[in-house]
Amino acid sequence: MFATLSDRLTSTFKNLRTKGRLSEADIDATVREIRRALLDADVAVPVVREFTGTVRERALSAEVSGALNPAQQVVKIVNEELVAILGGESRGLNLAKNPPTVIMLAGLQGAGKTTLAGKLALNLRQQGHTPLLVAADLQRPNAVTQLKVVGERAGVPVYAPDAGNQGAEGQSGVSTGDPVTVARAGVETARSRQHDVVIIDTAGRLGVDAELMQQAADIRDATSPDEILFVIDAMIGQDAVATAQAFAEGVSFTGVVLSKLDGDARGGAALSVARVTGQPILFASTGEKLTDFEVFHPDRMASRILDMGDVLTLIEQAEKAFDADQAQDMADKLASGKDFTLADFLVQMQQMRNMGSMKKMLGMLPGMGQMREALDNFDEREVDRVEAIVRSMTPAERENPKIINGSRRSRIAKGSGVTTTDVNQLLDRFAGAQKMMKQMSRGGGMPGMPGMGNLPGMGGKKQRGRQQAPAKKNKKGRSGNPAKRVAEQQGLTSGPAAPSGSAFGVGKPADEAPLELPPGLDKFLGR
């Protein structure tokens, strides 16, 4: 969604980092590029003016002129201002003290309200709530049927006493039911069945009109919702501001939900709605699956836009997808010295698939904007091919890949629908990964850290040699000076010859007699 904006801003900051000192002209040029990038991204003009004005004022202040690295300070300022226009801090749903909590969805037709109702219901169910979906959209053809299908997939019941507009061929299909009555009855049903959350799906229109606003206002007055969420298509562009303002005046929503955030549009709506309406963005829909739904964090979104990654969201998704017990078993296995097998690799890959799209996960890593072309060309089906290859192996082959000879490779290739070359490449990559895992388990972690092992190329052998090899000693205690060595042999040196085993020239070896130190040195040694 923000690829173009991210590339423009990253390029601007890259040019800025080449300057050790920033002049007013440099800052003006940077602000000008930021303004162009935001306008190209369809951000509302008032928001752009306010944003660039604040950035310029702060960039010319003492916090930049006195900084050790002015360019990084400007990036920090832009990041903070992006977080501000995106809403500041993230906010969760306001749950009612006395259930059920009533959540009403409003927005234009095609914004994705019905699908988002199912995503929100699934998210709440996973948190331990018992939501109920209410089908109050009786005008869009098959809207009630769609909500039933979505509710079934999410495992959430749907209250739909009226079939709504069926849109049957040869019939008008217009429903005679009253959406206000359905919404009110849905809340009462939820209370009687002890559902703690009610999500009301309302009708939308192709444009803002008085009838839509009046119907939404009547449902609001009849159900007294705790949250009114305005669902807006993130690809709507400049029209997002006018639509949001109209709904704010007509329905007075309490939060915003961005849908279709995975699209390829310029995404200015996300940077405009929160600042224009004054209401926070609560959630974001990032795909077509019901699980492609996440809490909106302004600071994390700003980091994504500035190509700083979103590691926290990546960790949260990993915690949901990975089994803690399996992860502990894997760690114990590696710590005990056992090999990492293809069976373990298959388990890890299946858990990674549960996290969602590989492209999305890779895109959350810092600096991936510089590899955008390679990321766009990444084939998600490659994961399926690898899984097919591993599944075509016998249990013995997965435990010990060394037994896979030529005939076995040919059989595995035929069974998985790939070439023998693909099988060979997978086995070679796995052998390297297995070797790395073994060396990491020996040292207890990553190389280069105290008490940890070293990977190939880290100079581990030389380090071990320096630590373990004893210091070289002159076997007979002879001097390297030939004349002095002759004098020692003839007994002409001023002091007694150092006996064998003595390191300090005293009468006994160092381990047999205490070392005699100059007077006054004892206090520095703590004696």
Residue set of the binding site: 107-114, 201-205, 259-262
Classify 487 as helix, strand or coil: helix
Q: For Cα atoms 258, 185, 166, give the angle at the middle one, nearest 5 degrees.
A: 65
The total of other beta-carbon atoms located within 10 Å of residue 244's CB is: 24
Q: What is the largest CA-CA distance in the chain?
A: 126
Where residue 50 falls (left for φ over 0; alpha for ψ -120 to 50; beta otherwise) is: alpha
CA dist., res. 50 & res. 516, Å (int): 77
Binding residues for GTP: 107-114, 201-205, 259-262
Whether 55 contacts 81, CB under 8 Å? yes
Counting beta carbons within 10 angstroms of the beta carbon of residue 399, is it exposed (0 to 12), middle (13 to 18) or buried (19 or more)?
middle
Which H or E run includes 55? helix 45-59
CA dist., res. 62 & res. 64, Å (int): 5
Strand-pair category, 255-259 with 131-135: unpaired
- In DSSP terms, which residues pair with 198 in a beta bridge? 102, 132
Q: What letter represents residue 343's amino acid? A: A
CA dist., res. 80 & res. 77, Å (int): 5
Q: How far is CA 292 from CA 117, 259, 309, 358, 522, in A?
A: 13, 10, 18, 13, 71
CA dist., res. 280 & res. 104, Å (int): 16
3-state percent breakdown (helix, strand, coil) of the chain, nearest 5: 50, 5, 40
